[in-house]
Amino acid sequence: MIDFYYWPTPNGWKISILLEELGLAYRTVPVDINAGDQFAPEFLAISPNNRMPAIVDHEPADGFGDQPLPIFESAAIARYLAIKTGQFYPADYRLRKEIDEWLYWQVGNLGPMGGQMSHFVNYAPGDHPYSEKRYRNEYHRCLGVLERRLADREYLVGEVYTIADIVNWPWVLIAKAMGQPLDEFPRVAAWRQRVKQRPAVQRGVDLGKQWRDGRPKSAAARNRLFNQTGHTDRGSQPDDAG
């Protein structure tokens, strides 16, 4: 059994989709990031960067011993689960090299740029034209990178669907909702649609849909989620009621 620490956001969907694709048994542990659950000491012991997704595998893959195995960071989780099950991460070294490139690219580029864009478009109080433009342009640039990559491919690596697609896709799913149409990126739009049609992808995105209200529940929670207080990992604060 796998404990899956999750909240329904693009980063969470990477792993809900993969777990559904793999058909693995898992138990969802909600990490309400709008309420501050990510700062609970029990969660920080699993995910020291106070972010979900994370997993604990109670039946670790061969070679990992028999103690429950915690893993944080979506790309690390995806590689682990794909290697454990022998799916979506072909054994060929050149393909693996390419998959790894697109995994690291996602967690270092598309994800953070999209995340900051979303922050300034959806959450930041007041107007921040420079910051909003900077992240809009960077997100737009990333979509251009994907468009070129998909110019002669159905999927990000070769002709097979891999964890590179699974990890990148949720951050393209939300493009339109963030005010970035995909008309300029027809190959990306077609790939987005191709992946979206997979039943496991639908199930992954639907997981915990009822929790997706999108907003921090209090001023204190908002300040902590957006790190307005310069917090470290002190754990849950008692002031979340406001």
Ligand X SMILES: N[C@@H](CCC(=O)N[C@@H](CS)C(=O)NCC(=O)O)C(=O)O
**Which residues form the interface with ligand X (CB under 6 A)?**
9, 11, 33, 38, 50-53, 73-74, 107, 111, 225
The smaller minimum CB distance to ligand X, of residues 15 and 150, is found at 15
Token reading at 13: 């969907």
- Is the Cα dihedral 226, 227, 233, 237 positive or negative? negative
Q: How far is the CB of 53 from ligand X (least distance, A)?
A: 6
Rank residues 187 and 217 by Cβ distance to ligand X and give the closer one: 217
Nearer residue to ligand X within complex by CB, 94 or 234: 234
> In this complex, which beta carbon is closest to ligand X, that of residue 85 or of residue 223?
223
181's tokens = 């149409």
Closest distance of CB 66 from ligand X, Å: 26
- CA gyration radius, the chain: 18
Smallest gap from Cβ 45 to ligand X, in A, equals: 15
Least Cβ distance, residue 213 to ligand X (angstroms): 14
Strands 54-57 and 26-30: unpaired
Considering the complex, state which of residue 107 and residue 113 has its C-beta at the smaller distance from ligand X. 107
- Count of C-beta atoms within a 10 Å radius of residue 138: 17
Alpha-carbon distances, residue 223 vs 35, 52, 121, 240 (angstroms)? 11, 18, 17, 10
- CB atoms under 10 Å from CB of 137, counted, come to 12
At its nearest, how many Å lie between ligand X and the CB of residue 186? 27
34 close to 82: Cβ distance less than 8 angstroms: no
Distance, in Å, from the CA atom of 161 to the CA atom of 155, rounded to the nearest integer, reads 6
Closer to ligand X by CB, 71 or 188: give it.
Answer: 71
User: Minimum Å distance from CB 101 to ligand X?
Assistant: 16
How is residue 160 annotated by DSSP? Answer: B
